[in-house]
Structure 1
């Protein structure tokens, strides 16, 4: 009877531990197995889906459930501890780090790529070259029409379109181009990156702001299809460019060489308290195999050389 009682007690303990691991979703995972959820800036859906698919193909017992959201929601997921792995185009602010300090959680940051923000326009728009000075005036509302940019333009009022009000691309423009000021009244948000591209294709006065990952992978039929429908603008940091060679599109090599000005970094931020599946995935993305996928996608790997690939406008 004592042996039976001890066996039942041991079984109950195993069930309790299993239930605990099932509820938290992280107690029983290892660097190459188990189940976790991660929160990802939706700007990077194409490359992260590719990384996850390849990782799960290698490690058959690993299951990563990715939720693609606007940047603000991804940060909140991390702060609220509803996820322990977030993928963002920025590092944490001092205020956000203070929250983790109070919770005795230590976020670990891994830089995995250099990304860029791309500007796209309708195929009927012949003005495919802009200076940084012109861009700042457009996003501040100082320039409101295409004719102000090109006297020969037959287009009307400029319509600025983002994928989401809380997206990383909108935050990037506010921080980097208009230094925290409000975006002008002619700014709108679509419901997704695909909806943004649809809108730009259908509206000749629109300029869309999108993560370059959506239009940079020439091995991805979706990205190639997008490029056939819109123009990708060339940008010059020179306020008075002499030739078209002074303008740069977000080609992979130009991003790496810092010739294309609208650059940003991509990070994996982990608050795992131990070496779990999230840590294993972050290590994989930062490894040679993971970096090769980033290279293929058209972004710039954090640790590898790049090839020159053109985003040609047709």
Structure 2
């Protein structure tokens, strides 16, 4: 009897050791460790989501890294991460890569975002039409006088956060029909540097994600807003009044009258219910959507309140 008990105990211990030495994933929807790759355009809002999630689920550790859009997609394709946050869906070519790898990406829409345009405080040309933006980003309008003969400003300088960013891609896809960015554009390499450049250069126009300037409870966003003007955009070629121009206010994004809109997605390739799945479910839940609401973006599943950016 003692011999049989000893054999059973040894077998049980060996089984436990084998489980502990397993190379398989050990995370759950609310615990463990994962890395996620995030479009750096959305750093303020996703940092808030991660910090709140980890505050609620103290056994969860999410390593969030922020990169240009192209690098985020590369991380997902090479399985360097299994959770990515992007402002677009995967292309058919990218999905074909996952098909070959026998991986199934799942996409969850979490918000409606907008691309914001900012100019120097001394620039009075803070109302632009989509057609005028197309002229700027295609290089046809090279000076502010090309848009307004009475302007006292000089050559236009277009500033992006990164040449490979999602905002630069949005401009190429939506405003220039895949043309190269104009010669009078450059990358500031960070959103902070972009805003500082526009603040110091009266001929500049900056392109950035609206969540960098839309959270009125964020002292950093408020500080940025005090430095620049936010451009109002009209989809009409010949607006009859200023009422036909819209800034990227939350309500105007929701009502689809601000023209430069895009969606925000969490894309997961987890083949199981792990921490990435749990985080995606949290962001899409009531609590996560309230964080998006507060940030100035439009939640995917909640009504919005009117919050202006308050240009002075």
Common fold, TM-score beyond 0.5? yes
Match of 2:203 in 1: 205
2:154 aligned partner: 156
Query: In the alignment, does 2:79 pair up with 1:74?
Result: no
2:14 matched residue in structure 1? 9
Find the aligned partners of 1:68 and 1:229 in 2 and give their Cα distance: 25
What is the distance in 2 between the residues matched to 1:294 and 1:40? 15
Whole-Å separation in 2 of the counterparts to 1:5 and 1:308: 66
Give the deviation of 1:149 after TM superposition.
1.3
Deviation at 1:220, TM superposition (A): 0.6
User: 1:153 offset after TM fit, Å?
Assistant: 1.4
Instruction: Give 3-state SS (helix, strand or coil) of 1:64's partner.
Output: strand
Give the aligned partner of residue 133 of structure 1: 131
Q: CA RMSD in A?
A: 1.3
Determine helix, strand or coil for the equivalent of 2:21: helix
State the SS of the aligned residue for 1:156.
Answer: coil
* 1:16-165 correspondence runs (5 A): 16-17=21-22, 20-21=23-24, 27-165=25-163
The alpha carbon displacement at 1:126 in A equals 1.0
Structure 1 residues 7 and 286: alpha-carbon distance in aligned structure 2, compared to 1, 3 A threshold: closer
CA–CA distance in structure 1, aligned partners of residues 231 and 46 of structure 2: 25
Cα distance, 1:311 vs. partner? 1.0
Distance in structure 1 (CA, Å) of the matches to 2:50 and 2:12:
40
Counterpart CA distance in 2 for 1:15 and 1:307 is 50
Counterpart CA distance in 2 for 1:31 and 1:10 is: 25
Alpha-carbon distance between aligned partners in 2 of 1:6 and 1:285, rounded to the nearest angstrom: 43
1:13 Cα deviation (Å)? 1.3
Q: TM-score, normalised by structure 1?
A: 0.95
Question: 1:191-270 maps to which residues of 2 (within 5 A)?
Answer: 191-270=189-268
Match of 2:303 among 298, 302, 305: 305
CA distance in structure 1 between the aligned counterparts of 2:239 and 2:45, rounded to whole angstroms: 34
* Distance in structure 1 (CA, Å) of the matches to 2:33 and 2:14: 27
Unpaired segments ≥5 residues, structure 1: 22-26
Task: Tell me the CA shift for residue 116 of structure 1.
Answer: 0.1
2:288 aligned residue: 290
Cα distance in 2 between the residues matched to 1:275 and 1:98: 23
Task: Write out per-residue CA displacement over residues 18-63 of structure 1, whole angstroms, 9 at most, x where no aligned residue.
Answer: xx24xxxxx0000011100000000100110011111111111111
Following superposition, the deviation at residue 151 of structure 1 comes to 1.6
**CA deviation string 1:130-166 (max 9, x = no partner):** 0011000000001000111122211110000100010
Per-residue deviation, residues 243-267 of structure 1 (Å, max 9, x unmatched)? 1111000000000000000000000
Gaps of 5+ in 2: none
Q: CA deviation at 1:103?
A: 0.4
Number of aligned positions between the proteins: 307
